[in-house]
Amino acid sequence: MKFFVDTADTAEIRELAEAGLLDGVTTNPSLIMKAGRPITDVIAEICDVVSGPVSAEVAATDYDTMLKEGRKLAEIADNVAIKVPLTLDGLKACRTFANEGRMVNVTLCFSANQALLAAKAGAAFISPFIGRLDDINLDGMELIEEIRIIYDNYPNFETEILAASVRTPNHVKQAAMIGADVVTVPPQVLRSLIKHPLTDKGLEAFLADWKKAGQSIL
């Protein structure tokens, strides 16, 4: 499973990329707003650091403006994935971009049928939002399962399932067990995957014994 980080915080991205943990990055208008800098600058900086897909989302809702915005974002770097919302205009734009050989991430997916349509529109990625379904007492993980079954039924679909709106380490584990192709994770969740109290406790004990041993490896 590929790991993307869901942030526009370039300092975080640099650190996680240096640790070799990143296969890509996803951003959205809310994350760009938090970064407080022009989208073109932020995306260019991220693309300098990460060579995998970097999703940059259009803000327009009509097809013609989506095309203009998407093409402008795609000009920033070869690894930009144009992110479009799952609407009729978004799917139309997805098909046009895909025909032009551009990578598209179709976002705001909340049903298996929406995911089916995104695959038919030639999306490189479909982004089902797990956490937001859980928020309204539905089962986000069930959606990942359904999409996995549907995509596996049709091997000609090349769309990758990008599990998004991930809020907990358990979401990551379940998405991996189901076989999501990609998971995009906020930095704090990604960091929390590393931590285990028994790892900390065990390391503390080893270091104490090493001190008693009075040895040095170097």
Q: Does 159 bind ligand G3P (CB under 6 A)?
A: no
Q: What tokens appear for 215 in the block?
A: 């040895």
Task: Pick between residue 6 and residue 89 the one whose CB is nearest to ligand G3P.
Answer: 6
For the CB of residue 28, give the shortest distance to ligand G3P in the complex, in Å. Answer: 4
Binding part of the chain for ligand G3P, among 117-125, 163-171, 197-205, 209-217 by CB under 6 A, reads 163-171
Please report, as residue ranges, which positions from 175 to 204 form the binding site for ligand G3P (by CB under 6 A).
184
Q: Is 212 a catalytic residue?
A: no
Token pair recorded at residue 18: 């240096």
Q: Are the C-beta atoms of 3 and 25 separated by less than 8 Å? A: no
**Contacts (CB under 6 A) with ligand G3P, residues 3-22:** 6
By C-beta, is 95 or 167 nearer to ligand G3P? 167
CB 205, min distance to ligand G3P, A: 37
DSSP string, 35-103: HTS-HHHHHHHHHHH--S-EEEE----SHHHHHHHHHHHHHH-TTEEEEEESSHHHHHHHHHHHHTT--
Residue 132 interacting with ligand G3P (CB under 6 A): yes
Q: Which entry of 83, 92, 120, 211 is annotated as an active-site residue?
A: 83
CB 170 → ligand G3P: shortest distance, Å? 15
For the chain, what's the residue count?
Answer: 218
Give the interface segment with ligand G3P, choosing from 70-78, 93-101, 162-170, 195-203 (CB under 6 A).
Answer: 162-170
Q: Name the phi and psi angles at 53, rounded to 5.
A: -60, 135
Give me the least distance between CB of 109 and ligand G3P, in Å please.
Answer: 10
Distance of CA 30 to the CA centre of its chain: 14
> Under the criterion CB under 6 A, does residue 165 sit at the interface with ligand G3P?
yes
- Measured distance CA(124)–CA(168) in Å, rounded: 25
- Cβ-based neighbours of 137, under 8 Å, separated by 6 or more: none
The CA–CA distances, whole Å, from 154 to 113, 116, 151, 157 equal: 14, 10, 5, 6
By beta-carbon proximity to ligand G3P, the closer residue of 129 and 157 is 129
Residues that bind ligand G3P (CB under 6 A): 6, 26, 28, 129, 131-132, 164-165, 167, 184
Question: Which positions are catalytic?
Answer: 83
